[in-house]
């Protein structure tokens, strides 16, 4: 997964509770995305014939390949956030481990960027897939109307 890291102009103070809530939200969103991806894969299976039509085969293949990458990235991010959430004890154990705590916060800020970028890519792939299926459905309906006696 390629990301572009930028330097934030200001650094927000992140409390352990804020990071915990953000991690829970990310896990919830990623779980939803995983379920949604099953739906998208079923959608592709349902409209395979229309999507592999010679006029849109390359575009369909591109979107399906990108969806496959997104599915893998979802799993990687889910595992990373789960691990990050389990390591939250570093922040609340009452022991001053400044370097570990700073690394944890740095990792959290990195996850903020990664998940934000991932969500944009995912939404783009999903929108393209829906557009392709919508066009395929319209053409199928049009062909049925034309073929009617």
| Alpha-carbon gap, residue 50 to 129, rounded angstroms | 12
Amino acid 11: pLDDT: 44
Amino acid 9: pLDDT: 43
| Alpha-carbon gap, residue 33 to 108, rounded angstroms | 20
Q: Which two tokens stand for residue 51?
A: 């999507």
Assess contact for 145 and 54: CB atoms under 8 A.
no
pLDDT, one tens digit per residue, over 88-122 is 888 877 777 888 888 999 999 999 999 999 999 99
pLDDT, one tens digit per residue, over 19-46 is 989 999 999 999 999 999 999 999 888 8
Detail the DSSP E strand segments found in the chain. none
* Mean pLDDT value of segment 115-144: 88
Q: Which two tokens stand for residue 102?
A: 């700073």
Dihedral over alpha carbons 130, 136, 137, 141 (to 10 degrees): 160
* Mean pLDDT value of segment 60-81: 94
Q: Which two tokens stand for residue 20?
A: 């915990």
Domain boundaries defined on the chain: 16-147
């Amino acid at each position: 997964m390629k990301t572009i890291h930028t330097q934030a102009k200001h650094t927000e103070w992140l409390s352990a509770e804020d990071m915990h809530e953000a991690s829970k939200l990310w896990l919830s969103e990623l779980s939803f995305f995983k379920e949604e991806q099953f739906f998208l894969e079923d959608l592709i299976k349902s409209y395979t014939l229309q999507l592999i039509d010679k006029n849109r085969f390359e575009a369909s293949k591109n979107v399906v390949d990108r969806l496959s990458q997104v599915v893998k990235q979802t799993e990687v991010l889910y595992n990373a956030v789960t691990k990050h959430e389990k390591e939250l004890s570093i922040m609340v154990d009452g022991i001053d481990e400044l370097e570990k705590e700073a690394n944890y916060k740095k990792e959290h800020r990195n996850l903020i960027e990664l998940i934000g970028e991932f969500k944009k890519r995912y939404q783009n792939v999903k929108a393209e897939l829906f557009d392709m299926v919508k066009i395929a459905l319209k053409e199928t309906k049009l062909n049925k109307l034309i073929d009617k006696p």
